[in-house]
Structure 1
Amino acid sequence: MLTGNDWSPHKIQGWTPDFVPGVLDKSVIDEIRLVSDDDAIATAKRLAAEEGIFCGISAGATVATALALAADAPAGSNIVAMLPDTGERYLSTPLFEGISEDSDEPWLDTL
């Protein structure tokens, strides 16, 4: 809704694109960026593998967007990305599809 696009299904739990909170002050928004489900999932997996941050798909989307913003930002810019959840809630989502493949840990097959 904020982008002007119609609602469409997506894989990012916690993001409801057809809901705009009444307290939102649009005057403080400089830019709205889109992020794909695939980029969000890939970044969440990368956060776990490279940084040890176990987070959900929305956090992956947030960091993917922050990284894209950082790539275009002037030198010396400070960019803050807040990740308010953990990955535990998302074990049954596309984020963890195939996680037990190529693993010798039997307990992963139970996920």
Structure 2
Amino acid sequence: VEGIGYDFIPTVIDKRAIDYWVKTDDDESFAMGRNLIRHEGLLIGGSCGATMAGAFRFIKENKIGAGKRVAILFADSSRNYMSKNMDDSWMEANGFSMKEINRTCNEKGYYAKLYKVA
């Protein structure tokens, strides 16, 4: 995912301020991002897809139930990605199978309405 896909942790980060780390891959990040665009009308970029995919994993792994809230901040918009991860042709040309993206969405439950995750 452009901008966040590097394999390092910035030295300025205070690791004590972080309660939970989640690592996502490009497939699930783009799958979630495209799902949010398609089904929720949120015009976001790939890093926001990674953020939401990580939130889904956090919710499932920690069994966050009804009546609980998880806050998620989206740091970008789709403006810079109109010809990239939002474009089926670009996705295919860069090794992202749309069939695989759809399988990932179904397998991970990304087609669920976001307010009904728990």
**TM-score normalised according to structure 2 size:** 0.64
Equivalenced residue count is 88
- Choose which of 49, 52, 58 in structure 1 pairs with 2:38: 49
Map 1:57-72 onto structure 2 (within 5 A): 57-72=46-61
The structure number with the bigger radius of gyration is 1
Gaps of 5+ in 1: 1-11, 100-111
Deviations 1:26-69 (A, max 9, x none): 11222321211111111111101111001111110100111121
Give the whole-Å Cα distance in 2 for the aligned partners of 1:96 and 1:21: 30
- Against the structure 1 CA distance between its residues 36 and 20, is the aligned structure 2 distance closer, same or farther, given a 3 Å change threshold? closer
Identity of aligned residues (%): 30
Bigger Cα displacement from structure 2, 47-56 vs 71-80: 71-80
After superposition, the CA RMSD in angstroms is 2.0
- Choose which of 4, 9, 26 in structure 2 pairs with 1:15: 4
More helix by share: 2
Report what 1:25 is aligned to: 14
- Choose which of 78, 81, 86 in structure 1 pairs with 2:69: 78
- Against the structure 1 CA distance between its residues 16 and 40, is the aligned structure 2 distance closer, same or farther, given a 3 Å change threshold? closer
Relative contact order (alpha carbons < 8 A, sep ≥ 6): 1 or 2 greater? 2
Give the whole-Å Cα distance in 1 for the aligned partners of 2:89 and 2:77: 19
What SS does the aligned partner of 1:70 have?
Answer: helix
What's the offset of the Cα at 1:93? 1.9
Give the whole-Å Cα distance in 2 for the aligned partners of 1:14 and 1:50: 24
**TM-score normalised according to structure 1 size:** 0.67
What letter is aligned with 2:39? E
What letter is aligned with 2:6? P
